Amino acid sequence: MTKLKEYLPQFNNQNILVLGDMIADEFISGQPERISREAPVLILEHQNHEILPGGGTNAANNVSSLGGQVYVAGVIGDDRVGRQLTQQLENEGIETDGLIIDHSRPTAVKTRILAGGEETVKQQVVRVDKLETHPISAEIENKLLNYIEEIIDEIDAILLSDYGNGVFTDSLKDKVVELGQKEDKLITVDSRYSLKSFEGITIATPNREEAEEAVGFELEEAQQIEKAGQELKADLDAEAMLITLGGEGMQIFTDEGSTHIPPSNYAEVYDVTGAGDTVIGTLTLSLASGASMVEAMKLSNYAAGIVVRKLGVATTNQAEMLKEMEEGDQDG
């Protein structure tokens, strides 16, 4: 345990590039008043409206809240939401010069309507997604690559956050991974739909569903999980593969074999939204700070155990992690 704690202060010294799909999470909340006469739906009295970092920007926000210096690269639209999202990131000290305005698409936004009273937990009523998933143009791709080449000497790791919104063309993937390998950078991947297209990386962090989709069979038994992890590691030519298993914890696969750990305080889960971004962010910082693969998994597990006890898209910090580790029962 003592050794794990020693990595936390090292997070402050790490420079991480987060490249991927930038998504704004929009929350509109209101007080239920009555049922509408126009349709069988609630009428809400507007209470609050906010734009928060989601998708790749949530991964960036997690790295930043844990002490890392973050550079983001991706696309936004020339619109209000894009400007608000950029401002939110800059307020957190995140470098946003790599956000390229793509006039062919709006900023990706997921709008959640929440209903509830002042003293009650608000419930999500509906979610509306405004997403364009067509591949970025060659011009936008070149702008992103030029930015990455400009800052590559300043960063310690590249975090690729793929939500399937068109940033990761085959060409961009190949060139970024090739550049990362050439410059001896850690390359971590969180891919929602195209995991097996990221070859030559350091490590990826699929959840059970993503791993099942990638390998083509269900992960219900320990033997199936073991097979999937080793198969994905080999197919991606990765140094390691980490599969998150929800209430069953996490399992990492390396050249030395596999290691499984139980979840941290899973009995107190309130909301798993964005937990994958916390895992990949913490894992990347941990590896950049010199942690082994298994140590990085344990640190990520602690961080995930904190954010799932918070409502909505959440982050954690070093102080919360230190407290979680001191109260936890994992053997560090």
The DSSP-derived string for 81-145 is HHHHHHHHHHHTT-EEEEEEE-TTSPPEEEEEEEE--TTS--EEEEEEEE---SPPPHHHHHHHH
Per-residue model confidence (pLDDT) at position 267: 54
Which tokens belong to 89? 């990131």
SS3 162: strand
123 neighbors 114 (Cβ within 8 angstroms): yes
C-alpha 325/C-alpha 332 separation (Å) is 9
Catalytic residue (choose from 21, 102, 190, 277): 277
Per-residue model confidence (pLDDT) at position 331: 44
Which tokens belong to 289? 């700070």
Alpha helices in 183-328 (DSSP H): 208-215, 222-235, 275-288, 293-307, 318-327
Per-residue model confidence (pLDDT) at position 332: 43
> 97 catalytic, yes or no?
no
Per-residue model confidence (pLDDT) at position 272: 60
| Domains of the chain (ranges, CATH numbers) | 2-23+56-108+132-327 (3.40.1190.20)
Beta-carbon-side half-sphere exposure of residue 87 (alpha carbons within 13 Å) = 8
Mean pLDDT by 10 residues, the chain (332 residues): 87 97 94 93 92 93 96 97 95 96 94 86 89 94 97 98 95 97 97 94 96 95 95 97 92 96 68 78 97 96 84 82 77 44
pTM for the full predicted model: 0.93
